[in-house]
Amino acid sequence: MKAMMNLLTQRSPRPVTIAIMDGVGCREDKLGNAVAAAFTPNLDWLLENCPHRLLRAHGTAVGLPSDHDMGNSEVGHNALGAGRLYPQGARLVNEAVQSGAIFEGHAWQSLVKYCFEKNGTMHFIGLLSDGDVHSHIKHLEAMLNRLAFQDKLPRARIHILLDGRDVGETSALEYVGRLEKLLQSLRDQAGVDYRIASGGGRMKITMDRYEANWAMVELGWKTHVAAEARKFPCAEAAVTTCRQEEPGIIDQDLPPFVIADEAGTPLGPIRDGDSVVYFNFRGDRAIEISRAFEEENFSPFLRAPHPEVLYAGMMEYDTEAHIPGRFLVDPPHIEHTLGEYLCARNLRQMAISETQKYGHVTYFWNGNRSGKLDEKLEDYIEVPSDLTPFEQRPWMKAAEITDRTVEAILSKDYDMIRLNYPNGDMVGHTGSFQATRIAVETVDLCLGRLIGATRKAGGILLVTADHGNAEEMFEIDSKTHTPKLYPDGKIRAKTAHTLNPVWFIVYDPTGEDCVVFDPDLREPGLTNVAPTLMQLLGVKAPEIYDPPLLLFKSE
């Protein structure tokens, strides 16, 4: 190690470009592995010719409760931009529920009090699963138990968003059954009237992000608030009927439904005097519905009806815009991000992706803050996403992202460029192996163009990911090591993220710095990336950051 010098004595190449292959993890097993199945000559060349190592991108390495928790894009980009570990939403909510702090807070007390004063109903809207990416069913269960036994509120309604993305693609009835069992128990033991009121797939209603498709949120409003959707006697009947009518449909795409009594009267529209809790803790798919409930001068769609309610989110989803105004658990307070340090050093930055991941390279990268840190030093570019289902157009907007990035690299106007290719993640979530393989091949084609531009400009290209997905597309039987099958013989697709590591590759076309990885770093993760970027830019990383990944051999 004594033969190594700090990069600060070396050149500082420009630009340093970091390409995030969203949802592209590393897994040796080729079964169900769309990354291994894809034709990826550029990624293969990088791995054969450039320094690289694996980074942890899940569990405690990104601030989640345990190493059984898969990574996700929110915590991944938080970690990439923050340079050190922060406890994330799932862990913070777990701790608040376990300690009881969530129920002692002003927000919860206000919601309950409002219902009693107005003779109103408490409504819960959120993703019904134990995926622990956007929500966890145990948090909902804890709130319902508290509301029934301690607060003794007589009436509550639950509006369920069905997952099939962070959990099994057709697992909805497992969670519906679990919730119905609890609700029946609460009705029997506490004498309360708690029922499921409405629902639908997470990619059909309510959970849009980055204003990509406000029609989803409007449809959610009509479902949860106005109770305008197809009516069923129970949630199980809704899911079963939709599956029978459209064979092969997965949970995230189920159409909206409303639960009604025998006379056809909806059980739980949201009305004046009610309280509403949006129990997702992750921010990106929570901001728009929060705005719809809280914003006075709201224009994306007509809110009809527009009841007067008291609204709260599980967390503050946007800490700069303070959305929502009322929340149950304090979010991670992320300070001193990489972007802040680079702006302080007068270094120019560009961030680019298409709509689906634009907020990840801006909002999440900057520590859950919207807007630029410095208008003069930063350019943020959003390429509008298509509304076409991702499996039907797996190339998405990768070419357009690459066009703008290549132009930026060759211009030498920037010190650092960060970009996100959403393909591996967004297409991977559809469960289509063929489409996901094409998505990975699309990203690989784009990497080839970035390599060429970096070589011409004399910069450095870093290639990594925020979590895995595309490399594990089948549900695998642990005993037989074969894909799990549906009764009709179809392979059970895995649509969730994974526990696999991700690559971190350094392409330096000049070879001047003789890059090597620090062998003393054990099990590095995404938090080590920010200090490494600072290394490459010739900027000393702050002491609060995790160690950088690289060493530079003296000549």
Residues 338 and 323 in one domain: no
Degrees (nearest 5) of the Cα angle 65, 71, 74? 95
Provide the pLDDT for residue 488.
86
Where among 270, 298, 329 does a domain terminate? 329
Beta-ladder partners of 315: 329
Residues 38 and 186 in one domain: no
Residue 384 in this model has a pLDDT that exceeds 90? yes
Q: Are strands 122-128 and 275-278 parallel, antiparallel or unpaired?
A: parallel
pLDDT tier at 502, thresholds 50, 70, 90: very high
The verdict on residue 203 lying in a domain is yes
**Structural domain count, the chain:** 2
Residues 36 and 169 in one domain: no
Q: Find the mean pLDDT for residues 255-274.
A: 97
Residue 2 in this model has a pLDDT that exceeds 70? no
Residues 340 and 283 in one domain: no
Residues 72 and 40 in one domain: yes
Lowest mean pLDDT among 89-93, 307-311, 500-504: 89-93
Residues 68 and 96 in one domain: no
The verdict on residue 216 lying in a domain is yes
The verdict on residue 127 lying in a domain is yes
The verdict on residue 27 lying in a domain is yes
370 is catalytic: no
Residue 511 in this model has a pLDDT that exceeds 80? no
For residue 540, which phi and psi values (nearest 5 degrees)?
Answer: -75, 125
Strand ordering across the sheet containing 550-553: 4-5, 550-553, 515-517
Domain that holds residue 225: 90-329
Mean of all residue pLDDT scores within the chain: 94
SS (H, E, C) 176-238: HHHHHHHHHHHHHHHCCEEEEEEEEECCCCCCCCCCCCHHHHHHHHHHHCCCCCEEECCHHHH
- 476 half-sphere exposure, CB direction, 13 A CA radius: 14
The verdict on residue 518 lying in a domain is no
How many residues can be counted in the chain?
A: 555
pLDDT digits (tens, 9 = 90+) for 207-257: 999 899 999 999 999 999 999 999 999 999 999 999 999 999 999 999 999
CB atoms within 10 A of CB 150: 12
Residues 463 and 427 in one domain: yes
The verdict on residue 339 lying in a domain is yes
Q: Find the mean pLDDT for residues 59-74.
A: 90
Where among 329, 361, 396 does a domain terminate? 329
Closest CA to 457 of 410, 506, 404: 410
The verdict on residue 198 lying in a domain is yes
Q: Find the mean pLDDT for residues 483-506.
A: 92
Residue 512 in this model has a pLDDT that exceeds 70? no
Residues 27 and 163 in one domain: no
The verdict on residue 118 lying in a domain is yes
CA atoms of 427 and 388, how far apart (whole Å): 11
CA atoms of 101 and 109, how far apart (whole Å): 11
- Where b means 16+ CB within 10 Å and e means fewer, 92-112 reads bbbebbeeeebbebebbeebb
CA atoms of 467 and 90, how far apart (whole Å): 16
Q: Find the mean pLDDT for residues 250-276.
A: 97
Q: In 3-state terms, what secondary structure has residue 383?
A: strand
* CATH label of the domain that carries residue 407: 3.40.720.10
pLDDT tier at 514, thresholds 50, 70, 90: low
Residues 62 and 103 in one domain: no
pLDDT tier at 381, thresholds 50, 70, 90: very high
Provide the pLDDT for residue 553.
57
Cβ atoms of 504 and 53 within 8 Å: the answer is yes
Where among 329, 358, 391 does a domain terminate? 329
Residues 205 and 101 in one domain: yes
Q: What is the pTM of this model?
A: 0.81
Give the active site residue among 12, 66, 73, 554: 73
Residue 11 in this model has a pLDDT that exceeds 70? no
* Residue bearing tokens 């608040």: 96
Residues 383 and 323 in one domain: no
* CATH label of the domain that carries residue 237: 3.40.1450.10
pLDDT digits (tens, 9 = 90+) for 341-359: 999 999 999 999 999 999 9
Residues 64 and 203 in one domain: no
